[in-house]
């Protein structure tokens, strides 16, 4: 595993713990934390999906188009 993956994994494990600490220690309402989580998770997941989509992989349609051209 790359060193950057460990850092990312550590950060992603600390975020829910910080949310729980905010709920229990600071008295932040659960609904506020849930709304913020949804607003953050949605765009971040789309960015991650787009960044990992199709790197170095050809689809069957790409292979078919390449053979049709020759």
Give the mean pLDDT of 34-56.
82
pLDDT at 25 > cutoff 90? yes
12-15 own/partner pairs: CB under 8 Å, 24+ apart: none
Q: Is the pLDDT of residue 33 over 80?
A: yes
Higher pLDDT, 26 or 61: 26
**47 or 60, higher pLDDT:** 47
Distances 32 to 16, 38, 39 between C-alpha atoms, Å:
14, 10, 11
Looking at residue 66, what is its pLDDT?
59
């Amino acid at each position: 595993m790359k060193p950057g993956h460990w850092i990312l994994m550590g950060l992603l494990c600390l975020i829910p713990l910080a949310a729980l600490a905010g709920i229990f220690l600071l008295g932040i309402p659960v609904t506020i934390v849930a709304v913020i989580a949804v607003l953050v998770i949605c765009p971040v997941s789309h960015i991650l999906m787009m960044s990992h989509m199709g790197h170095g992989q050809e689809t069957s349609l790409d292979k078919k188009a390449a053979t049709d051209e020759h």
